[in-house]
Amino acid sequence: MLEYLKKNTLIATFLVIIILDQMLKVTLDIDKNYGLVLGILKGNLGICIFLTLFILIILIILLKNNKKKIRKIGFILIISGLISNLIDRLILGYVRDYIPFLNITSFNLADSAAIIGIIVLILNRNRIKWK
């Protein structure tokens, strides 16, 4: 199994983010987010789940049709973040956040992974050369 994950860094990255985020959520549960980013659509669980699934389908299609490894990493980071938060929404009805930010909001590892994935895709889209 370990040898398989070494060869398949995308799958390993995907699994590590989801497992670590879920473990942190169990131990550091600080805030409950009943909406999407910054509480958008608060109290609309069905819409939040639908939008997440819709975006996941699009991202998985883009991932499968993409050849560049750096873009695949960006997509995997976003997908793993969305899935980890989707697990919370499906089981608990909200997302557990545990990293406070400026006394305004809080976030979690899944959110961080998704944001980093978006940055990777944006930087790659603008053709910045990666070494």
Q: For the chain, which residues make up each domain, given as ranges?
A: 2-125
Number of H helices, E strands in the chain: 5, 4
Residue 131: per-residue pLDDT? 46
pTM, whole model, 2 decimals? Answer: 0.84
**C-alpha–C-alpha distance, residues 77 and 11, integer Å:** 10
Alpha-carbon 1 to chain mean position = 24
Active site residues: 97, 111
pLDDT value at residue 28: 85
Below-70 pLDDT ranges, the chain: 1-7, 29, 38, 126-131
What is the structure's pLDDT at 3?
A: 62
What pLDDT score does 51 carry? 93
Q: What angle do CA 46, 98, 13 make, to 5 degrees?
A: 80
Distances (CA, A) of 2 to 7, 35, 97, 121: 9, 37, 30, 28
- The whole-number pLDDT of residue 6 equals 55
